[in-house]
Structure formats: C-alpha cells, structure tokens
Amino acid sequence: MRIWPLKKQAQLVEKVKSYDPQVNEALITKAYDYSEQAHSDQTRASGDPYFMHPLKVAEILTEMHLDTNTIITGLLHDTVEDTLSTIEEIEENFGKEIAQLVDGVTKLSRIELPTESIREAENFRKFLLAMSNDIRVLLVKLADRLHNMRTLHHITAPEKRRRIALETMEIYAPLAERIGMRKMKDELEDIAFREINPEAYSSINQRLTYLKKKGGNLSKSIAAKIKRLLKKNGIKAQVFGREKTPYSIWMKMERNHLGFEQLSDVIAFRVIIEKVEDCYVALGIIHKTWSMVPGTFDDYISTPKRNGYQSIHTAIIGPDSYRVEIQIRTEKMHEISERGVAAHWSYKQGASEKDGTQYKWLQELLEILELATTPEEFLEHTKLEMFQDQVFCFTPKGDLIPLPRGSTVVDFAYAVHTAVGDTCVGAKVNGRHVPLRHQLENGDRVEILRSKAQHPSPRWEGFVITGKARSAIKRYVRKQANAEFGELGKTILQRAFRQENLEFSEKAITQALPRLDVGKLEDVYIEVGKGVLADRAAMELIFPGMDFKHTRKKGGPKLWAEKPSDPDAAISIKGLTPGVAVHLADCCHPLPGDRIVGLLEKNKGVITHTIDCETLENLIGDEDSWVDLSWLSQGEKPGIFAGRVSLVVVNEAGVLGNIATVVAKHNANISNLKIVDRDPDFFTMLVDIEVRNVKQLTDIITAMRTLSVVSTATRIRG
C-alpha cells in the first residue's frame, strides 16, 4: 500500500538533482519503495507511519547536498535494525557501497551508550568516530538523531526523553561541531536544552520574543543600514540578522557570569561578501563608521579555527547606539561554517570521485578532527595517527576503555585498575574465553577473569603495549625480584656460616654494615643473592681477621639434593619463583625431579642446570658461584615447565595428530614444534611440551615410543 502520493518520491529526487546532476533517480526511487514496503506495518511514537522517519532523514541529507548513495542510506538506515531486511538483501538490491553504509549506521545504532551521567562522553565520541569508517555513516547517524530530536516531544516517557536529550547534548552535538556542522549542532543543542532545562529555555525564549517585539524592525533596519553603507563604498554584500539560539545565550550567560541584559550580541549580523579581500575592506568601512567595542575583534580568516572555520568577528556600537556583533565572511566560508565536512565533501566531490573515495573520506574526517580539537584537548590526542591507532573496548558494565591498537587483555585489565591487572588470569571477550595475550578489537566487550593466586609475570612484558601495564609489571617484578634475591642471599650466607661452624647471626652482619658498605641488612642479602657480593668476601668482612678453615671442596661442592623430592609434588625452588631470581637454564631445561645445581650469575641470580648439563663442565673450577639447590614442594598450584623432545617419525599422513593425541592424553600441551629435517621417509622434529615434572615428560616419551609411526623419541637438552 502506498501511503504518500508519488509526489513525495519525485520531490526527493528533484532535491538531489538540484545540486547533483549525476543523481541515480531509478535507484533512489527503488530505495524509497523498498523502505516504505519494509516499514509498512510500523508506526512512530507520533502515530505517523514509520516510513516518515527515514524519508525525513533522507531530506535532511539532501539539505547537506550529499550524494545519491548517502541519500539512499538515509532511506534504508533503519531497515536492517527494525525490519526483516538483511544486509545481504540490501547489497543484492543496492550494491556493496550502500550495503556497507547501511551496515555502518546499523552498527552505530546498536552501540549502547551509558544511561546516567555521561562522564566518558569524549571517549564515546571518539568511539563513534572510530566505528564510522566512512564519514557518510556518521552524517546519516547525525541526520537520524536530528529527526529524532525534532520529534522528541512525541515520546511520552519523560526519563526516555531526558536520556535522549542528554545523549544528544553530550555526544551528538559535540560530534556535529567537531566535523564543523554548526547549523546541525545548534539545532541539536537547542532541542536538547529545551528538554533538559525547560525553565531556563522558556525564560530566555520569552525574553527573546519580547525583545524582538520591542525592537520591531530594528534588526532589519540595522541590516539595511550596513548594506547601504557597503554598497556606497562599492562592495556588494548580503547582510542577515542572525538570531541567537536560547542555548547559545544560556551558555554565554553561564560562561561570562552575565545577566541577560548585559549580553551585547543578542543582535548579531552576518555580512556575506564575494571576495576575501573585500572582507577586510568592508571591515575597515564598518570600523570607520561606527566605533568598535574593544576586545571583540577576531580575524579567523587569516588564522582559521581548528575545525576550518573562517570569518572576521567584531562588535560595534552601531546605528542608534546598539551594540551589535558582526561576522564578515565569503559565501564559501559561510557554507563551510554551516555544513562543515559535508560542504568540504561537495567541493571535493568531483576531484575524488574516481580514486578511492572511501579512504579519502576517512582521511578528510581525521584531518578535520585533528584540526578541530581545542587547545585543552590537543594534548590528550594530538596526532591523527594516535586516533587511528586506538581501539575502544567496553567493561561488562558498559564503561568505555580507550586503548592503543594492539592492546591485549592485560593492557585492558591494567587500564581498568592496577589491582585488576595484577590478578588477571584470562578474559572473556564478547563471551568467548581468550588468553591474556589476546589482542583487542574495536567494540569488544571484555570481562577480566581474576585469581587471588595470580601475580604479574615478567613474561607479560613481552606482549603488553601500554605504559601503565608495563610499568606496573616492572614495578611488581622488581619488588618481587628484590625479595627473592634477598631470600636467596640469606640462604647463601646461612650456608657460609654453617660451613664455618658458626651460628648464623644477623647481629654480626648488622654490625659489619659499614665494612660491607651497605645500608641495611636486607641489602646485604640482596647483594649476595644477586652475586654482586660473593659469600666468602662477605664472611671476611663480617668477621675481619678470622681464619676461615673451611675452603670449598675441589671439584665443586655437593650442590644437589641428597635425594630428589617427590617428583609428583608441585615444585618451587626453595620457595623462589622461576623467572625472577631463579632461572631454568635454556641449555638443559631442568624439570622437577631432575637433579639440579645452581650457578650464581652476577645481577641475574641463580641459573639452574641439570647435574649432567654439559655447560657445567667448563665451569667446574669456579666454585664460588655454585649454589646448593633442590626442588621443594610448595603445596601450591603446580608450575609448568617446558620439556624438549626430539622425535624421528615416519613421513605419513596423520603422524602429527597421533603425537598430539599422546600429549593430550597425558594432560600436557605442545607449546612449540619445529621440523628440523625432512626426507621422503622420515621427519626429525623438536617438540616442546609443557609438563609439570620429569615423570610426566618421561611418561609421554615412553608412550610416544610405543607408536608405530615413531622411530625414536628422546628428551634433549639444548
């Protein structure tokens, strides 16, 4: 059923045609019919047929002089969200570009903005921009919002009206301003203001009406006087009286703590001139004729505002001693100030049509954005690369967290709170489990999973990219490292005391602090633990002149545990965390259950090797650096270690699957796999397997050997 006569359809096409001769009439007509049909069983809050809304949105877009595809997007913008239409269907009927635009608007509409106070408004504005990868998406969204604001009074629930008005005030009006669309911004703000502060709105409005009545033709007569004066001096100009909106007056009153009567620029004029040079000539004539109000002159022609706005501003004591504000600009400057990015677009349309319009659109938007920031905002997001390099993610409560592109779950957690970062173990992104190193995308909803047992790990430093995460991890690791170096150093000193049959005495060490050249006891332990201060040197300073009987046994002391601790027990090396003050050597990959020795390396702490590691052979004489180590059960969650296995397997299909199955059956993980040699019959490969201890690795190797496809399987070190 057709609700409106064909006339409406023809009118829309005519409007586009008036500024764009290239208009695709048939396609607009098709979109008109399609949308009308799709929305046919819906109505608006006003009781109007729903199709009225997309039609009005399309009309607003024609006022911005936008291209055929944008007008069609306006017509179709609610079909995917609110009717049975799909993006695929839109693409089939209207092509890829329109489908992408409609999809963009649909996505923007699905973003839930926070309901209460919009404290993160700036971030939401950025987020909307980041999501609108084609500026036309944003323009359609703004037109959509404008029409919804124009019909706001039809919504009966006051809270809903207020929420929409607040959102408009905080998010959409500033967005319109950011892309230079002053006219749209003014209207959005004014309607929102009326809703949010009805008393102020009506009192200002009454004053304005009163003044207009009282002034009668004042505005007209002043405009005529200015025009005549300029004409007499050979300058052709259009002069318009400019009515201020209640909201702009309200803001000015607030900003300058002025009463309504003190506002000088309730009467304002716009002087539109053909040539730029004549703007200055006109200014001279006006200033010569009437006196200028000091401090009101601004030349935004020679120094445009950051959003590209150009105009000369001045205020004079004008005809009949009225203080009036005057803006002088050219036609083009005027159009840009009214329509912002849309005007830029129509000026450049011809030039950029052929060569990758999409990208240019974005580029242009970002350039304007960059220019549009106020000095205060400037520091916050200076460069457009920074802006493009951001992703915007949500907490489960809907708070928005802006992050640099490439940020991981851990970066997000630290951005929320340091305590959240310190204890994060994983996350759900859009409901799906992801590991800590997972990189986030625009619009992701991130729920951080936490555990009290978790601590920041030095490994995280390898993938986090935000300064906050990095410094928090570093701080924790440094603190932790000092604690562990201290503990290690104390153990080493206790051993040294024992070897000399001395009772361990912190008092003795404390008294020796000046000789040790260290400030406090803990620092002595740390220095010894780090290997900066050798234990024997420390003993000689603690007990000066003492004759130390016990020298180290040649060939290295007995450095490993007499009997290996229970290989199945969860392990830790004397309570120290691997990776901080104790490191597991890369050459031999010690596993819990292996017999181990420690080598103290300066500033690194202890490097743990298996007792049969070849590396040790060269170091056997350097006995000062040997440390007694054993695996100790901690009763905590088992640690995970990497064991390396060399495999020679038959070259046939399914081999890797067989091996993976064996590993999985033993509740272990393959962390890395490298094929080192490959010939027609056999593969040789190195497999790193994450295990809890030696026994688990041995079991896996044994199981692998039973496979018919496995020729050999051996644990290797290095």
Cβ closest to Mn ion, residue 144 vs residue 370: 144
Gap between the terminal Cα atoms of the chain: 79
Return d(Cα 141, Cα 133) in angstroms, integer. Answer: 13
Under 8 Å between Cβ of 441 and 130: no
Beta carbon of residue 25, minimum distance to Mn ion (angstroms, whole number): 24
Under 8 Å between Cβ of 424 and 436: yes
Under 8 Å between Cβ of 660 and 673: no
> Residue 488: which of 610, 573, 587, 378 has the closest Cα?
573
Cβ closest to Mn ion, residue 56 vs residue 178: 56
Beta carbon of residue 38, minimum distance to Mn ion (angstroms, whole number): 13
Beta carbon of residue 137, minimum distance to Mn ion (angstroms, whole number): 13
Cβ closest to Mn ion, residue 103 vs residue 422: 103
Cβ closest to Mn ion, residue 142 vs residue 368: 142
**C-alpha distances in angstroms, 697 versus 38, 383, 560, 668, 688?**
64, 52, 21, 9, 10
Beta carbon of residue 69, minimum distance to Mn ion (angstroms, whole number): 17
Q: Which residues bind Mn ion (CB under 5 A)?
A: 78, 144
DSSP alpha helix (H) spans, 132-181: 135-150, 158-167, 173-178
In the DSSP assignment, the letter for residue 172 is I
Cβ closest to Mn ion, residue 110 vs residue 552: 110
Cβ closest to Mn ion, residue 145 vs residue 589: 145
Under 8 Å between Cβ of 542 and 512: yes
Cβ closest to Mn ion, residue 76 vs residue 524: 76
Return d(Cα 41, Cα 331) in angstroms, integer. Answer: 45
Task: Reduce the DSSP state of residue 426 to 3 states and report it.
Answer: strand
Q: How long, in residues, is the chain?
A: 718
User: Catalytic pick from 20, 25, 48, 82?
Assistant: 82
Cβ closest to Mn ion, residue 144 vs residue 278: 144
Q: Going by C-beta distance under 8 Å and a sequence separation of 6 or more, which residues neighbour residue 493?
A: 504, 509, 524, 525, 528, 535, 538, 539
Beta carbon of residue 110, minimum distance to Mn ion (angstroms, whole number): 12
**C-alpha distances in angstroms, 538 versus 420, 498, 499?**
41, 14, 14
| Three-class DSSP labels, 540-595 | HHHCCCCCCCCCCCCCCCCCECCCCCCCCCCEEECCECECCCEEECCCCCCCECEC
Return d(Cα 287, Cα 702) in angstroms, integer. Answer: 98
82 in catalytic set: yes
For residue 204, the tally of other CB atoms under 10 A from its CB is: 21
Beta carbon of residue 156, minimum distance to Mn ion (angstroms, whole number): 19
Q: Report the residue number whose CB is nearest to Mn ion.
A: 144
Beta carbon of residue 101, minimum distance to Mn ion (angstroms, whole number): 14
Tokens at residue 180, please? 């230079």
Beta carbon of residue 147, minimum distance to Mn ion (angstroms, whole number): 7
User: Catalytic pick from 81, 500, 652, 681?
Assistant: 81
Active site residues: 81-82
